[in-house]
Chains A and B, each alone.
Chain A
Amino acid sequence: MSDQYVLSIFRGDQNEGEEKTYQVPAIPGMVVLDAVHYVQAHDAPDLGVRWNCKAAHCGSCSAEINGMPKLMCKTRLDDYQGQVVHIQPMRTFPIVKDLVADVSWNYEVAKKIEAFAPVNAAPFRMQQWDVDRVQEFHHCIECFLCQDVCHVLREHDAQDQYFGPRFMVKMAEFEMHPVDGADRVPQLKNEGGIGMCNVTKCCTEVCPQHIHITDNAIIPLKERVADRYYDPIRKFFRRLNKNKKEESSSSTVPSKV
Chain B
Amino acid sequence: MNIETMETHSFDILVLGSGGAGLRAAVEAASGGGMSVGIIGKSLLGKAHTVMAEGGAAASIGNVDGHDSWQTHFYDTMKSGHYINNFRTVEVFAKEAPARVLELEQWGAVFDRTPEGMIMQRAFGGHSFRRLAHIGDRTGMELLRTLQYRAISMNIEIFQEVTITRLLMDGSRIAGVFGYHRSDGHFVLFKTKALVLATGGWGKVFKVTSNSWESTGDGAAMAYRQGAELQDMEMVQFHPTGMVWPPGVAGLLVTEGVRGEGGILYNSEKDRFMLRYDPERQELSTRDVVARSIFREVQEGRGTPHGGAWLDISNKGADFIKKKLPGMYEQLLTLGDIDITKSPFEVAPTCHYTMGGVKAHAETCATNIPGLFAAGEVACGLHGANRLGGNSLADILVFGRRAGIAARDYAGSRTDDVAVSEKEIEAEAERILKPFSRPDGENPYAIHAELQETMSKHVGIVRDQKLLEDGLEQILKLQERAKNMGAKGGRTYNPGWHAVFDVENMLLLSELIIRGALERKESRGGHWRSDYPEELEEMGQWNFVHEISPNGDRIKKERVPVMPPALQEICSRPVAPGKEPSPNVDQRKGASS
Known: A123-B102, A125-B118, A127-B117. A46 touches B45 (CB 8 A): no
Q: How far, in angstroms, from A222 to B335 measured CA to CA in the complex?
A: 36
A45-B248 contact given A52-B47, A126-B117, CB 8 Å threshold: no
Tell whether A45 pairs with B495 under 8 Å between CB atoms, given A29-B335, A52-B213. yes
0/1 string, A70-113, CB within 8 A of B gives 1:
00001010000000000000000000111010111001001100
* Residue of A with least CB distance to B103: A122
Q: Using Cβ atoms and an 8 Å threshold, which residues of chain B touch A131?
A: 110, 113
Indicate whether A122 sits within 8 Å of B252 (C-beta atoms), given known contacts A45-B487, A46-B490, A51-B213: no
Say if the beta carbon of A142 comes within 8 Å of chain B: yes
Q: Is the C-beta of B160 less than 8 angstroms from some C-beta in chain A? A: yes
* Distance between B351 CB and nearest chain A CB, rounded to angstroms: 14
Check B106 against A122 for contact (C-beta < 8 Å): yes
Is A147 on the interface with B (CB-CB < 8 A)? no
CB-defined contacts of A74 to chain B, threshold 8 Å: 334-335
Whether B496 and A40, one on each chain, are in contact in the complex, defined by CB atoms closer than 8 angstroms, is yes
Within the complex, what minimum Cβ distance (angstroms) separates B327 from chain A? 7
B488 x A174 contact (CB < 8 A)? no
Interface: B421 (CB within 8 A): no
CB distance from A85 to the nearest CB of B (A): 15
Q: Mark A44-64, 1 if CB is under 8 A from B, else 0.
A: 011111111111111110000
Report the separation of the CA atoms of residues A15 and B213 in the bound assembly, to the nearest whole angstrom.
29
Q: Which of A28, A51, A58, A125 has the most CB of B within 10 A?
A: A58
* B473 part of interface (Cβ distance < 8 Å): no
Is residue A68 within 8 Å, beta carbon to beta carbon, of the partner chain?
no
Q: CA–CA, A51 to B52, complex, Å?
A: 13
Contacts of B446 in A (CB 8 A): 41
Rounded to whole Å, the gap between the CB of B167 and the closest CB of chain A is 24
Q: Is the CB–CB distance between B149 and A116 below 8 Å?
A: yes
Cβ distance A55 to chain B, nearest Cβ, rounded Å: 5
Interface size class of B (residues with CB under 8 A): 35 or more
Contact of B52 among A55, A97, A127 (CB under 8 A): A55
Q: A256 an interface residue at 8 Å Cβ cutoff?
A: no
**When chains A and B are docked, how far (Å) is the Cα of A130 from the Cα of B113?**
9
How far is B588's CA from A139's CA once the two chains are assembled, in angstroms?
Answer: 36
Docked Cα-Cα span, A102 to B492, in Å, equals: 13
Closest to B445 in A: A41
Contacts of B331 in A (CB 8 A): 55-56
- Find B493's partner among A98, A116, A124, A125 (CB 8 Å cutoff): A98
Asked whether B105 lies within 8 Å of A54 as measured between CB atoms, the reply is: no
- Among A167-186, those with CB < 8 Å from B are 170, 173-174, 177
User: With an 8 A cutoff between CB atoms, is A226 at the interface?
Assistant: no
- With known contacts A53-B52, A122-B103, A60–B108 Cβ distance under 8 A: no
Residue of B nearest to A121 (CB): B106
- Given known pairs A28-B247, A28-B248, A116-B107, the reply for A46 and B495 (CB within 8 Å) is yes
Rounded to whole angstroms, the CA-CA distance of A189 and B336 in the bound complex is: 44
Contacting residue for A29 out of B150, B152, B336, B496, CB 8 A: B336
| Interface flag for A205 (CB, 8 Å) | no
Whether A60 contacts B249 by the Cβ 8 Å rule is: no
**Which one, B64-72, B134-142, B528-536, B557-565, is touching chain A?**
B134-142
Residue of A with least CB distance to B446: A41
Complex Cα spacing A124 to B49, Å = 28
Contacts of A118 in B (CB 8 A): 106, 108
Q: Mark B41-65, 1 if CB is under 8 A from A, else 0.
A: 0011111110110000000000000
Apart from A60-B47, A123-B105, list 11 A-B contacts with CB within 8 A: A27-B247, A29-B247, A45-B489, A46-B495, A46-B496, A52-B43, A52-B213, A59-B47, A96-B184, A96-B493, A170-B149
Name 8 interchain pairs, CB-CB below 8 A, sorted by A: A28-B245, A46-B495, A54-B252, A58-B212, A96-B184, A97-B494, A123-B102, A138-B138
